[in-house]
Each structure stands twice: as C-alpha cells, then as structure tokens.
C-alpha cells in the first residue's frame, strides 16, 4: 500500500504494468488475504485518481463509521471465501481445512 499512497507512487506502479501481474496472481492465488490485497490494489490502480487534497492517501481522514463498515465488509468477504472453500472440499470429499484467523 505504501507504494500507492501518493499520486507519484500510483503513477509509477501503473506505469510498470503491475495491474497485469496482479490480475494473473489473482487467477491462481488460493490465500484469501492475498486475494483481498490483490483486489484492493487493483481497485486503486484502475480507479480514478482521488480529488484535490487527497493525493496522499495516508493523510486522508476516514470517518470512524466508514472504517467500521469497511472492516465489516472485509470480514464478510473472508467468510464468503471460507464458505466457498468448504463447499469445494465437501464436493471433492475432502475434510475441511482449518481456518486461520489472523485478525
């Protein structure tokens, strides 16, 4: 995230073709945390540039209720991923893998 915090950093990361590498990684990466990070970084790379005063994303103040909502959405996304993994393993007849809770 540090590389894409500033306008100049985002420009450099885009210029190096990082989006295409992340897109490929996203196709085969099994880890939910890595997938989520790829998706968020891809959104930064393909999204519109933030408006004036928001060029450095590390200096933007996020309201607490928005931060809580984003955290809730992250948890829900991870739960959906785990459910999908469990369903795939059940379909193959494999025992479910243990969940890792790093949050």
Number of domains the chain is built from: 2
Whether residue 69 lies inside any domain: the answer is yes
pLDDT band of residue 102 (cuts 50, 70, 90) is very low
The per-residue pLDDT for range 48-97, each reduced to its tens digit, is 888 887 788 778 787 899 889 888 988 888 888 788 778 877 887 766 55
Q: How far apart, in whole angstroms, are the C-alpha atoms of residue 73 and residue 19? A: 23
- The answer to whether residues 10 and 52 belong to one domain is yes
- The answer to whether residues 42 and 66 belong to one domain is no
Looking at the predicted structure, is the pLDDT value of residue 103 above 50? no
Whether residue 102 lies inside any domain: the answer is no
Whether residue 39 lies inside any domain: the answer is yes
- The answer to whether residues 40 and 52 belong to one domain is yes
- Global pTM reads 0.59
- Domain holding 70, by residue range, is 61-93
């Amino acid at each position: 995230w540090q590389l894409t915090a500033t306008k100049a950093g985002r420009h450099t990361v885009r210029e190096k073709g990082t989006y295409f590498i992340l897109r490929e990684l996203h196709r085969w990466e099994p880890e939910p945390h890595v997938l989520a990070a790829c998706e968020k970084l891809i959104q930064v790379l393909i999204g519109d540039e933030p408006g004036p005063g928001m060029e450095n994303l590390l200096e933007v103040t996020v309201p607490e209720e928005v931060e809580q909502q984003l955290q809730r959405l992250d948890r829900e996304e991870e739960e959906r991923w785990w459910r999908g993994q469990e369903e795939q393993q059940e379909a193959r007849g494999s025992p479910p893998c243990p969940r890792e809770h790093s949050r």
